[in-house]
Every structure is written in structure tokens, then in C-alpha cells.
Structure 1
Amino acid sequence: MPQVHKTKVLLARQIGAVAREARMRAGITQEEAAERVGIATEVYGRMERGNMLPSLPTLVKLCRALGIDANPLLGFSSSQPPAWLASETPSAAEPSSLRRLLRTARRLNPRQLSALRSVAAALLPAPDARPVRPSRRAAS
């Protein structure tokens, strides 16, 4: 099974939680909400549980059907950035080469990630190894 990017999981959970809350406030069932949005009840249920992301047209229909603004669905209703967006903010201390490597690694399948981990582990010194100092002979 392919690895799901953490941002997508966090965003799907955000949308699902807010959609559920809005649906319950409106006093309608998942079936009624799905009908209003124009999707299958099973699909709506998966979306509300945070197991899938809606397409942009479906997100717009969801907002209309539940009578809510897209900002809370996406987590933009507070002064702090939403969790799904904050997790993507690169640390200022990370070098750009590390950020490029991470972007590339995120596109790898599980088998390729395993190979990359093996290569990275081979590049690291053993935990009990002492640092190797260049000999004076090699320097001359």
C-alpha cells in the first residue's frame, strides 16, 4: 500500500471533523448530506471520517450543502496556521539540500524508501565507532 503524505491525512481529518460538526448542527443524517452534495453515502462517510479528501468541486458543494464557509473546513479560522499546513513549514535550520532530498523521498514508493534508508544507514558511522582522523602521512 502506498504511503499517504502526512499533510493529506491531516487535511482530510480536518475537513471530516468540521463537516461532521456542521452536519450535526444542521440536524441532518450522512445520507441527507451526501444527497445534498451529490455523492454516495459511503463516500460521504469516508470523507467525514477523514479517510479521503474531496475534490475541489465536491468541497464547494459540501460548503453549500452544509451552509459553511470553506475556511473552517480547511482550518483557517484561527490565528494559528492549521495543523496540516504547519507540518509542511520547513525549519529555518534545515539546509535547502535536505529539503530537496525530503521532497524527492516523499515521491518514492515503499520499496524505494527502504533502499534509500539502507543507503543512508550505510553512510552513517557505527554508534560505537570513534571518529576517524586523517593521518599526517595521508595529508602530505
Structure 2
Amino acid sequence: MTQAEVAESIATHPEVYGRIERGGMMPSVPTLLRLCLILGCGPHELMGFSELEPSQSVPGASMVPPGLKDTPEKRRLLRRLARLDRPRIRALARLAALLLPGQ
């Protein structure tokens, strides 16, 4: 994957992802988890640590927290929704209800 593709997949700007990749900045925990999902590796690998032994595994560590499997488009939409006032959110909810068949 290119840096631009990874950046899009984790919903960040390519410049920000480039700084993370070069070690110029640390990702947030949610961004680190999204990187792990996209790249198919654990955080220990991304951070340069050796792999955990089976006896060191943490129960529930393989579970993906809610929201991390959302698409970049959905995350962008949710960020925009968070900035709207209540009447506009209600209007969008009515519009979404009209767009969803069988609702």
C-alpha cells in the first residue's frame, strides 16, 4: 500500500501519516489500532517490540473495539455530524429515513 492509501484507510492526511511512519509523531491509540487492522499486524510490531508469547497474551485483546471497522467515509460523516446543531441533526435524520428503503 502507498502512504496515501494507508492514510485514507485510517482517515488521516498523508502528511500526518508520513510523520507517523518516520517517527516524527506518535499516533493516537485509535489510530494505532486502525493501523494494526489495515496493515494486518500487532501494535508491538509497529512499535518495534518483539512479538508476545502466548502466555503473555491479554484476554480479549483480539477483539476489535466498536467503531474501528468503520469506513473512512463513515468516520468523516460522523465527525461532521458532531459539529451540527440539534435542529440540523433532526433534519438529516428525517432525510436519512427517506433514503433508507423499508424504514
Normalised-by-shorter TM-score class = 0.3 to 0.5
Give 1 or 2 for the bigger CA radius of gyration.
1
Normalised TM-score (structure 2)? 0.46
Normalised TM-score (structure 1)? 0.35
